[in-house]
Structure 1
Amino acid sequence: MAIEKIIVPDIGGAEGAEVIEVLVTPGDEVSVDQGLIVLESDKASMEIPATVAGKVIELLAAVGDELAEGAPVAMIERVSEPDTAAASTEPEPAADVPRQAAQEDPLEAAPAAVQVLPDSESTAVESVRDTEAASPAGGAVTTAQAHVTGTKFYAGPAVRKLAREFGIPLEQVHGSGPQGRILKDDLHRYSRRSVQEGGGSGGAGLPQVPEIDFARFGEVETTSRTKLDRLTATNMRRSWLNVPHVTQFDEADITDLEAFRAQLKGEAESRETRLTPLPFLIKASAIALRDNPKLNTSLAGGGEELVWKKYIHIGMAVDTPSGLMVPVIRDADRKSIWQLAAEVMELAAKARERKLVPQDMQGGCFTVSSLGAIGGTGFTPIINTPEVAILGVSKAATKPVWNGVEFEPRKMLPLSLSYDHRVVNGGDGGRFFTRVVALLSDIRQLSL
């Protein structure tokens, strides 16, 4: 049997294209036009196919090598049968068409064969069912045979490059193209399904957190998480995966606000309420939302539309024994500090007693998450989607502040604003944040 050296063909003048993937190993049987390696230049990625059928004897290129036209790729022991040696030195015109097409358009090169891993057998069977439903009848049987026997499936270099960039395991993707070929649309569908179905410590398409037997290291106790805990975890995970979070930090001088609250302590007792900083935070946020309506919106229509809300309802995160709950104060911009204080106490009590009804936690436009006296100098709150922003409040501390003449002690409140960067840009967030800080630093503005 003859030994054939496979070299890099004309790749459109690209010099020093890098080998980013090796598709075969010595000993593999390959067919004509089956991909051997993938090269990536500054313009595109392209597959270098075998020009003959046979067994790979030696690989002459490795990941990271830079190759140009004529560089050796592999040595292949060519099979002797005429019907399998379709790509000889003098091929038939019809057999030469695929190689010409691959040279003219590298992104449309022959599909690569990817081995199905042993533990993907169940996924492969499900893939057959989906492909049979989505593919032409002519290709369903071939695809099914390929999956069931665990041999190979197909994806072009552009699709495989996209899969690498997003960490998508191709062996888990159901191809909807001819003969089960994986298309870019299949990757998009897989990503959307991964986010929708994912839960717990990991999800489809994401690296799983390994299970550990903690009892090996000492005494443990295992309890079931509450339904509220599980729901909160799912919501937070969905928000973190779907929303590009940006967090800005600032401090508000609340020295005067704290003095004002102290003066009103007696009146608060007569009203049978407590005047905490939270009503002021809610009021300041409501006014800032009114003045910066971009942060009072939500995405709709798959991200193609923006809903501008004509109302301002603000949620407040409440830590309860059962988990985190976020009751909503409606029309916060129209209510006085005393009204907000009374409603904060009422909703917090209902949350701790598990007496909130669904309507109490719906319709929020913005959320305030306050750690109060718990501690910390700052944190990055996760957006309560479909809202586009959330305000995080940490523990106030007395700090020396320069007043232009000397340092004086001022009570400073650390704040953090997280927002959805698909909707809110830095200018929007900065203007909103500056307004909140100004309102808290000069409480006279809250009445204007």
Structure 2
Amino acid sequence: MLERVLTPDLGTDLAEVIELLVQVGQQVSVDTPLVTLESAKASMEVPSPLAGTIRTIHVKIGSKVGEGVLLFELETNTAVPESMLTQTTPSHSPLVYTPVDEPVPAPPTQALTPVFAPDIGSDSADVIELLVSVGQEINLDTPIVTLESAKASMEVPSPVAGRVEKMHVAVGAKVSQGTLLLSVLTASANVAKLVDISTTGELPSTPAPAPAPAPAPAPAPAPTPELQVNQKPAYCGPAVRRLARELGVDLTKIQGSAAKGRIIKEDIHQFVKQQLTTPQTIHPAPVMTQSAFPELPAIDFSKWGDIELQPLTKIQKLSAKNLHRAWLHIPHVTQFDEADITDLEAFRVSQKDSLKTQGINLTLLAFLVKACAHVLQDYPKFNASLSLDGESIILKKYIHIGVAVDTPNGLVVPVIRDANQKSISQIAKALAELSSKAREKKLSPQEMQGATFSISSLGGIGGTAFTPIVNWPEVAILGVSKSTLKPIWQDERFEPRLMLPLALSYDHRVIDGADGARFITRLSQILTDIRRVLL
């Protein structure tokens, strides 16, 4: 019986066929990779939905396909000549599945299952620790590797249980979503063995089409119609786009030299060389003004005594870059105030023990999150972002509050989602879970994304006041310092009251001083009498 294999949902309109992993007459098993597709977002392998023999291939390298396009015709439940069982797939596939040597497989008991890197929330991450070794028995959700991206460190859990047969990455390797991490021998109804074609020395039976000749270097920098900006979308893969971003190259200005005008890395290198060797219009040197940033001189500190060079962690490097960018691009204003939390603290202490029996640690931070969420509903500008062109404000209909957590590797900001819809006890429980994950490097990228407003609380450490930096693309952040007892004049006498220092920093392009004063005043009123959140 002939079965049709169609293109699955690609998550995009079109993808290009960049690799054929099987050939006509080859026997395949369930989940055997058949073809590699590359879209503007990622490369992916399409697995076989059935076991059988490839009878017809309806696409070729360079073809563009969308969801539902016919890729192969597969003959199932058909006896296959023994000679076909030894055929291999094209050598340009590093890892493929082939059936076991017997023409009629025996009842299977185990299978080799590949484990791939999940969505890591960024383009790439470094492997900083291998948590398992070859031959080790692992269970479902056993941590197998620790990855560190530009945003956070995270442990990748195993999606299957079994024995580790092969490690495909080492410490220091860079991986992205879909990278093969390891192979696990698991119990399965479909037995397959992982074969490294690069060791067989065999060539593919169907050679890939030769690339088109590279265009001759342009004799002059005069623009041509095919090099006009935004004439058509750039036709290339993710790796080429990444290289273009790193070099600052506009892909719409490049004519691809590969099949069908596809841009490859050599085209980018050639374009950069051409730009560097082309005479440019000479402009007068800019006049140095007081606003220019002078370079910092290099200093040899060792001439005054012993020193130690301690590298920054990846999180610290990224935080420094983001904070510097925010400080340069956002005109900050900080509004200060104090909130009388005498009654709030008395209520918190009275409820603390009863909630602790439920496993909930009721802290002042939970009340701060709830109070901010309540005030953000009244002042939606503080829950917004400024568009990149500076022409409009993006108002968000959800309230996700980021809470800065101090960890040994640097500051991370997990997010309390829909804080306005949670009770104070629910917020307290979520805070405890996220803080624990942050210190154990188990936060996922999704748990640190999407915040609309941030809180940085230093009350547990000390200090009287500070000016927090707005966490772009947000437009406001609340800084909280240590509460102190102060004599406050009430009813014609001084009374000891517990006062909490507040510092509200905001983007003055979006929020003016009057709204900043109204926001912090309203927040102070809520904290003074938390019952106001019920109104």
TM-score, L = length of structure 1:
0.56
Match of 1:154 among 284, 290, 305: 284
Match of 1:164 among 289, 305, 330: 289
Give the aligned length.
Answer: 265
Give the equivalent residue in structure 1 for 2:419. Answer: 332
Give the equivalent residue in structure 1 for 2:350. Answer: 263
Give the equivalent residue in structure 2 for 1:252. Answer: 339
Give the equivalent residue in structure 2 for 1:374. Answer: 461
Matches of 2:468 and 2:426, distance apart in 1: 26
Three-state SS of the structure 1 residue aligned to 2:289 is: helix
Match of 2:483 among 396, 421, 425: 396
Matches of 2:308 and 2:284, distance apart in 1: 48
Three-state SS of the structure 2 residue aligned to 1:302 is: coil
Residue 210 of structure 1: CA displacement?
2.1
Matches of 1:316 and 1:388, distance apart in 2: 15
* Larger helix percent: 1
Residue 310 of structure 1: CA displacement?
0.3
Matches within 5 A, 1:160-309: 160=287, 164=289, 166-167=291-292, 206-309=293-396
Matches of 1:259 and 1:141, distance apart in 2: 71
The answer on 1:384 being equivalent to 2:471 is yes
Matches of 1:315 and 1:447, distance apart in 2: 23
In the alignment, residue 154 of structure 1 is paired with which amino acid?
Answer: P
Q: Kindly provide the CA deviation profile for residues 74-132 of structure 1, in whole angstroms up to 9, marking residues without a partner as x.
A: xxxxxxxxxxxxxxxxxxxxxxxxxxxxxxxxxxxxxxxxxxxxxxxxxxxxxxx99x9
Give the equivalent residue in structure 2 for 1:362. Answer: 449
Three-state SS of the structure 1 residue aligned to 2:389 is: helix
TM-score, L = length of structure 2:
0.47
Residue 434 of structure 1: CA displacement?
1.0
Three-state SS of the structure 2 residue aligned to 1:364 is: coil
Q: Kindly provide the CA deviation profile for residues 355-390 of structure 1, in whole angstroms up to 9, marking residues without a partner as x.
A: 011100111000000002211100000000000000
Q: Kindly provide the CA deviation profile for residues 59-80 of structure 1, in whole angstroms up to 9, marking residues without a partner as x.
A: xxxxxxxxxxxxxxxxxxxxxx
Matches of 2:422 and 2:495, distance apart in 1: 34
Residue 211 of structure 1: CA displacement?
2.2
Distance 1:142 1:321, change over 3 A: closer
Residue 425 of structure 1: CA displacement?
0.3
Give the equivalent residue in structure 1 for 2:499. Answer: 412
Three-state SS of the structure 1 residue aligned to 2:335 is: strand
In the alignment, residue 350 of structure 1 is paired with which amino acid?
Answer: K
Distance 1:447 1:141, change over 3 A: closer
Give the equivalent residue in structure 1 for 2:406. Answer: 319
Matches of 2:436 and 2:405, distance apart in 1: 9
Give the equivalent residue in structure 2 for 1:189. Answer: none
Matches of 1:281 and 1:295, distance apart in 2: 16
In the alignment, residue 382 of structure 1 is paired with which amino acid?
Answer: I
Give the equivalent residue in structure 1 for 2:219. Answer: none
In the alignment, residue 430 of structure 2 is paired with which amino acid?
Answer: E
Matches of 2:280 and 2:356, distance apart in 1: 78
Matches of 1:300 and 1:427, distance apart in 2: 22
Q: Which runs of 5+ in 1 are unaligned?
A: 1-128, 144-152, 168-205
Matches within 5 A, 1:9-20: none
Three-state SS of the structure 1 residue aligned to 2:284 is: strand
Residue 165 of structure 1: CA displacement?
5.8
In the alignment, residue 415 of structure 1 is paired with which amino acid?
Answer: L
Matches of 1:333 and 1:284, distance apart in 2: 9
In the alignment, residue 164 of structure 1 is paired with which amino acid?
Answer: T
Matches within 5 A, 1:91-102: none
Three-state SS of the structure 1 residue aligned to 2:406 is: strand
Residue 164 of structure 1: CA displacement?
2.6
In the alignment, residue 457 of structure 2 is paired with which amino acid?
Answer: S
More deviation, 289-298/438-447: 438-447
Distance 1:142 1:317, change over 3 A: closer
In the alignment, residue 373 of structure 2 is paired with which amino acid?
Answer: A
The answer on 1:423 being equivalent to 2:516 is no
Give the equivalent residue in structure 1 for 2:82. Answer: none
Give the equivalent residue in structure 1 for 2:154. Answer: none
Residue 141 of structure 1: CA displacement?
7.4
More deviation, 215-224/434-443: 215-224
In the alignment, residue 481 of structure 2 is paired with which amino acid?
Answer: S
Give the equivalent residue in structure 1 for 2:531. Answer: 444
Q: Kindly provide the CA deviation profile for residues 261-288 of structure 1, in whole angstroms up to 9, marking residues without a partner as x.
A: 1101221211112111001000111111
More deviation, 438-447/327-336: 438-447
Percent of paired sites with the same residue: 56
Q: Kindly provide the CA deviation profile for residues 38-61 of structure 1, in whole angstroms up to 9, marking residues without a partner as x.
A: xxxxxxxxxxxxxxxxxxxxxxxx
Residue 220 of structure 1: CA displacement?
1.6
Distance 1:141 1:443, change over 3 A: closer
Q: Kindly provide the CA deviation profile for residues 297-346 of structure 1, in whole angstroms up to 9, marking residues without a partner as x.
A: 10114211210000000000000000000000000011000000000000
Residue 154 of structure 1: CA displacement?
2.4
Three-state SS of the structure 2 residue aligned to 1:373 is: coil
Residue 207 of structure 1: CA displacement?
2.0
Give the equivalent residue in structure 2 for 1:148. Answer: none
In the alignment, residue 289 of structure 2 is paired with which amino acid?
Answer: R
Q: Kindly provide the CA deviation profile for residues 164-213 of structure 1, in whole angstroms up to 9, marking residues without a partner as x.
A: 3642xxxxxxxxxxxxxxxxxxxxxxxxxxxxxxxxxxxxxx22222222
Matches of 2:281 and 2:412, distance apart in 1: 52
Matches of 1:303 and 1:294, distance apart in 2: 15
Give the RMSD, CA atoms, in angstroms.
Answer: 2.3
Give the equivalent residue in structure 1 for 2:108. Answer: none
Give the equivalent residue in structure 1 for 2:66. Answer: none
In the alignment, residue 414 of structure 1 is paired with which amino acid?
Answer: P
In the alignment, residue 253 of structure 1 is paired with which amino acid?
Answer: D
Q: Which runs of 5+ in 2 are unaligned?
A: 1-270
Residue 142 of structure 1: CA displacement?
7.8
Give the equivalent residue in structure 1 for 2:167. Answer: none
